[in-house]
Homo-oligomer: A and B are copies of this chain.
Amino acid sequence: MTTRVGGFRFSAAAAGIKKPGRLDVGLAVADAPAVAAGVFTRNLVRAAPVVVAARRVRSGFAQAILANSGCANACTGSAGLGAALSTTETVAHVLGIASELILPASTGVIGALLPAARINPHATELARSLSPDKGDDFAQAILTTDRWPKVESVTVGPATLVGIAKGAGMIHPDVGLLSLSEPLMTSRPPHATLLVFLFTDLRVPRPELEVALVAATDKTFNACTVDGDTSTNDTVLALASGVSRHQASMGELTEALEAVCGKLARSMVLDGEGAEHAVDVRVRGLPTAQAARQVAQTVATSLLVKTALHGRDANWGRLLAAAGRAGVDFRPEKASISIAGVEIVRAGVSLGSGAEARAAQEMASPTYAVELVLGTGPGEFTYITSDLGHGYVDVNASYRS
């Protein structure tokens, strides 16, 4: 997957935040200030880089993203804020741009202070090694518990949209535009997060970029879950250099963002801690999309559903019981359910153990869809979820203390 996109260069360095020698700092720089928009975790507890990036992106312009893994710089109080400011200032100085044009992002251990003293000496190296071809290094530098880097792209006429992301656990994003009354904390939560960086050479007016980004993230990242836990660091940034001179329609732009973000979301869920499957939970037939979303989210976060998916058990009763507690009115005795295209319940009646056995076989696939048709209304929504097995417990219940 190409990471080349007009007007942007990338680099990465091993600053010793993770184990020595592993890439842990990434820099993305636009040749000139780019149109920028960002959405951030709506968790009340927000990391220092989120606070800084949310404030800076309000200007509508940004020229660089400085991202690191190995340390989330979350719950680190004013010292954490100072570290985020110090690293972006150092890189800005080397690049010869205003530090306000650099957006920081961090992921990794929470409660640990960002080691600015380790990162800053690498600023010159990061600036000198910038190249249009080093997006893969950048993608590598932001990984934590991820098993693979996440890069997706689409073309829009002569232009390109590239997305680079990380995420594997603490994945239940709820990102949106932030107001600027940000609380700050000193604490030490977990270690994973969603970071997404979108780069395009489309020419996009700032208001349109923001509106399209909010719309696309709401249907993709805000509709996927690994464990139902929303991180303190979730960040989605979009930068548009405009160098293709191609201006997409609002529809084209939203479609392109949705396509890239949708693929990245599915890749993250499939890479969910201990997960073997990324499953689309599709709910149809309800009066509104909002009602369908509520049911889909309830089913997608149900522990009994997620353990059944892990066990490749076509246990439609768990699906239906989860739907039944979502707080949305429907007639269970009218429901139809299929798994991986195999219909197992029609109009509330089981189609038998043969159908269930066929569905169970399909559940060996890494990706498939579970569909619940709960009525005849126009409202539908799809949520992406992972299965939950021993691997998740292994990663998250280690005797750390």
Q: Which residues of B contact A185 (CB under 8 A)?
A: 320, 332-333, 335, 348
Would you call A170 and B304 a contact (CB within 8 A)?
Answer: yes
Query: For residue A111, which residue of chain B has the nearest CB?
Result: B317
A290 within 8 A of B: no
A345 within 8 A of B: yes
Partner of A227, one of B74, B172, B303: B303
A392 to B393, CA, bound (A): 10
Partner of A348, one of B186, B311, B318: B186
Would you call A315 and B190 a contact (CB within 8 A)?
Answer: yes
A22 within 8 A of B: no
Contacts A45-B320, A321-B45, A357-B401 given; does A393 touch B310 at CB 8 Å = yes
Would you call A349 and B186 a contact (CB within 8 A)?
Answer: yes
A316 to B232, CA, bound (A): 13
Would you call B187 and A320 a contact (CB within 8 A)?
Answer: yes
Would you call A311 and B111 a contact (CB within 8 A)?
Answer: no
A43 to B187, CA, bound (A): 38
For window 158-200 of A, CB contacts with B under 8 Å fall at 170, 172, 174, 183-190
Would you call A229 and B304 a contact (CB within 8 A)?
Answer: yes
Would you call B186 and A325 a contact (CB within 8 A)?
Answer: no
Q: Which residues of B contact A184 (CB under 8 A)?
A: 332-333
A308 within 8 A of B: yes
Would you call A350 and B189 a contact (CB within 8 A)?
Answer: no
A133 within 8 A of B: no
What copy number does this chain have within its complex?
2
Would you call A303 and B189 a contact (CB within 8 A)?
Answer: no
Would you call A398 and B330 a contact (CB within 8 A)?
Answer: no
Q: How far is the CB of A17 from chain B (nearest CB, A)?
A: 18
A315 to B110, CA, bound (A): 10
A196 to B206, CA, bound (A): 59
Query: For residue A349, which residue of chain B has the nearest CB?
Result: B186
Q: How far is the CB of A65 from chain B (nearest CB, A)?
A: 24
Partner of A304, one of B190, B321, B324: B190
Would you call B396 and A325 a contact (CB within 8 A)?
Answer: no
Partner of A188, one of B317, B335, B396: B317
Q: Which residues of B contact A349 (CB under 8 A)?
A: 77, 186
Query: For residue A330, which residue of chain B has the nearest CB?
Result: B44
A307 within 8 A of B: yes
Would you call B322 and A75 a contact (CB within 8 A)?
Answer: no
A231 within 8 A of B: yes
A400 within 8 A of B: yes
A331 within 8 A of B: yes
Q: Which residues of B contact A304 (CB under 8 A)?
A: 170, 189-190, 227, 229, 396
Would you call B43 and A317 a contact (CB within 8 A)?
Answer: no
Contacts A185-B332, A303-B229 given; does A43 touch B401 at CB 8 Å = no
Given contacts A44-B332, A185-B320, A229-B318, 9 further A-B contacts (CB under 8 A): A43-B321, A77-B348, A111-B317, A186-B349, A189-B315, A189-B318, A227-B304, A303-B392, A307-B396
Q: List residues of chain A with CB under 8 Å of any chain B CB.
A: 42-45, 74-75, 77, 110-111, 170, 172, 174, 183-190, 227-232, 301-304, 307-308, 310-318, 320-325, 329-333, 335, 345, 348-350, 356-357, 359-360, 388-390, 392-393, 396-401
A-B contact pairs, 7 of them (CB 8 A): A183-B332, A184-B332, A185-B333, A189-B320, A189-B321, A303-B388, A314-B401
5 A-B pairs with least C-beta separation: A189-B317, A360-B401, A44-B324, A45-B324, A307-B396
